[in-house]
Amino acid sequence: MSQRSLMLSVLAVVAVEAMSLVAAPSPVRIRSGLLTGVPGRDPAVTVYKGIPYAAAPVGELRWAPPRPAVQWRDVRRADTFGANCMQAIVQERKPWTFEFMAHGAVSEDCLYLNVWTPARGGNRRPVFVWIYGGGFSEGSGSVPVYDGEGLVKKGLVVVTFNYRVGAFGFLAHPELTKESSLNASGNYGLLDQVAALQWVRDNIAAFGGDTGRVTIAGQSAGGMSVEALIASPLAKGLFHRAIDQSGGALAGVNAPARADAEREGLRFVEAKRAGSLADLRAMTAEQIAAPVASAARFRFSPIVDGYVLPAPVGEMVANGRQNDVPTIAGATANDLGSATPEQRRETLYNWAVARGRTSKAPAYLFLFAHAMPGPDVERYGAFHTADVPYAFNTLYMSDRPFTEVDHRIAELMSAYWANFAASGNPNGKALPPWPAVGGAHAEIMHIGAETKAFPASVN
C-alpha cells in the first residue's frame, strides 16, 4: 500500500469514528447500570442491542426461574444482539426466506433484549413488546423482520427479547418439581417472558416508554404465548393490550397437564441416556440440544403447571380469571393447516364469542388476505408469518419484489398496530373503519389490497 493510500485509509477510519462519536447518544441509566446505543438505519432512531434482562441461565440456573441480571460498573455499549437461545439454526425453510429466520450464534447465555426508540426526547411513547414464534423450539428477538424501526416511526418504543425454547425452556420433570419451592416445573420460557415484561416495567421509562401503555404482541408460538400471559396471574398489570397473530386464538393453547409433561421429561432423560436429572445437568448445552433417535422425538411447549398457568387458558378465560385487556387476534388466509379462510374466520369468531362471555375489554379480529410476493407465491399465498413484516412495516428487511400495493398495506397495517398500542383501539384517521367484536354479528377485518370488514361468521 502506498503512503497516500495508507493516509486515506487512516483518515477514513478517523472520520467514521468521529461520526459515531457525534451520533452516539448520552448514556441511559437502567437498574443494571449505564449503557449507550447505536444509531439505527435512520439516525433519528437509536437501537440498544443485547441488554441482559436476567442472569445467564447456566449451571445451577439451567431449568430454574430467571434471576435478576448482574449489574455492571462501566458504561455498557449495547451495539450487538445477544446470542440466540439454544436451537438448530436454519437459514431458510420455504416459504420462510432469510429475513424470517434466526441467525448467528446460539448459547445458553441468551436472556437479552433489544430496544428501538427515538434518538431525541419527547413525550412518553406507547411500548410494543414482541414475542417471537418458532414452535417453542426456535426463534430470536433479532430476526430481521422484527426490526423495530418501522414501528418507532409510527410513534412507538419497540422491545424484542429472547426466551428459552425447546428442552431448555419447557422441560418438566418430577425432580425439578420437587426441588422447586413453587411445586412446579416446565414453563421456564414463559417465566423468561414475564421477567422481560418486569424489566420493561422497571426500565422502559429511561428509553422514553410509557409504563402505563405496554402492548404484548406475538405470532404463532408468540401468539400462543400472548394468550398464556393473558391467562397467567404472574403477568397481571405488566401489559395493557395484547395482539395474537396466528396463535392461541386460532389453534388454541392445548397445554398438557404437569403430570403428563413430567412423564415426557422422564422419557427425555432416558432418551439422553442420563441416569438422573443430575446427569442431564452435567451435560453440555450442545449434548442436550442434539437430536435424539427418531423413535423418541420430543416437542416442548407450555404446560399447565399450577403456577404460571393455574389451569388451561380456555378455562381461565371461561371462569373470568384472565388479565382482561383490549385484544387483536387474527390469522393469515393461507395459515398452517388445511382449513380454508372461511373456516379460519369461523374459528376466530368462535374464539371471540367465548372470550366475550367474561371479558369486558374490546376485541378486534383480522384475516391477512394478501399473497406475499416471493418464491412460489402461487403455492404459498398469504402464508403463516407473512403478516409480520407488514405489521412491523419492515419490508425494507427483505429483497422480495414488493410493489406499491405491498408498501401501502404495510403502512396501513402498522398504523393499525400503532394506534392500538397507543389507545387500545386500532382505528385512526384515513384508515378503513375496523369495528370491535360485538354481539352475534361480529365483523372481521380483511387486510390486503382491499382492506374492509366482513361478517366474521360464515353461517
Instruction: Return d(Cα 157, Cα 198) in angstroms, integer.
Output: 16
233 assigned to some structural domain? yes
20 assigned to some structural domain? no
**CB neighbourhood size of 35 (10 A):** 22
pLDDT at site 27: 94
Query: Can you tell me the mean pLDDT for 166-173?
Result: 96
pLDDT at site 396: 97
13 assigned to some structural domain? no
Whole-number average pLDDT of the chain: 91
Residue 132 has pLDDT above 70, yes or no: yes
Which residue range is the domain that position 267 belongs to? Answer: 25-455
Using one digit for the tens of pLDDT, what is the confidence trace for 2-17?
Answer: 433 333 343 333 333 4
390 Cβ contact partners less than 8 Å away, ≥ 6 residues apart:
368, 370, 406, 409, 410, 413, 414, 447
**CB neighbourhood size of 268 (10 A):** 20
- Which CATH number goes with the domain that contains 48? 3.40.50.1820
338 assigned to some structural domain? yes
Using one digit for the tens of pLDDT, what is the confidence trace for 421-453?
Answer: 999 999 999 999 999 998 667 899 999 999 999
User: Which of 16-30, 67-81, 167-181 has the least mean pLDDT?
Assistant: 16-30
78 Cβ contact partners less than 8 Å away, ≥ 6 residues apart:
35, 36, 37, 38, 47, 48, 49, 50, 51
Using one digit for the tens of pLDDT, what is the confidence trace for 199-250?
Answer: 999 999 999 999 999 999 999 999 999 999 999 999 999 999 999 999 987 7
pLDDT at site 18: 39
Place of cell 414482541: 130
* Residue 1 or 335, more confident: 335
The answer to whether 88 and 124 have CB atoms below 8 angstroms apart is no
pLDDT category, 336, cuts 50, 70, 90? confident
Query: Can you tell me the mean pLDDT for 308-328?
Result: 96
1 assigned to some structural domain? no
367 assigned to some structural domain? yes
Instruction: Please report, for residues 63, 193, 213, 342, 414, the alpha-carbon distance to residue 333 in angstroms, rounded to integers and kept in the order given.
Output: 38, 28, 30, 9, 18
Residue 251 has pLDDT above 80, yes or no: no
120 assigned to some structural domain? yes
59 Cβ contact partners less than 8 Å away, ≥ 6 residues apart:
none
**CB neighbourhood size of 396 (10 A):** 17
346 assigned to some structural domain? yes
pLDDT at site 439: 64
pLDDT category, 121, cuts 50, 70, 90? low
Task: Give me the number of domains the chain comprises.
Answer: 1
Query: Can you tell me the mean pLDDT for 103-109?
Result: 97
| Gyration radius (Cα) of the chain, Å | 22
Residue 21 has pLDDT above 80, yes or no: no
Query: Can you tell me the mean pLDDT for 256-274?
Result: 93
434 Cβ contact partners less than 8 Å away, ≥ 6 residues apart:
364, 366, 416, 426, 427, 445, 453
Residue 141 has pLDDT above 80, yes or no: yes
Place of cell 451520533: 23
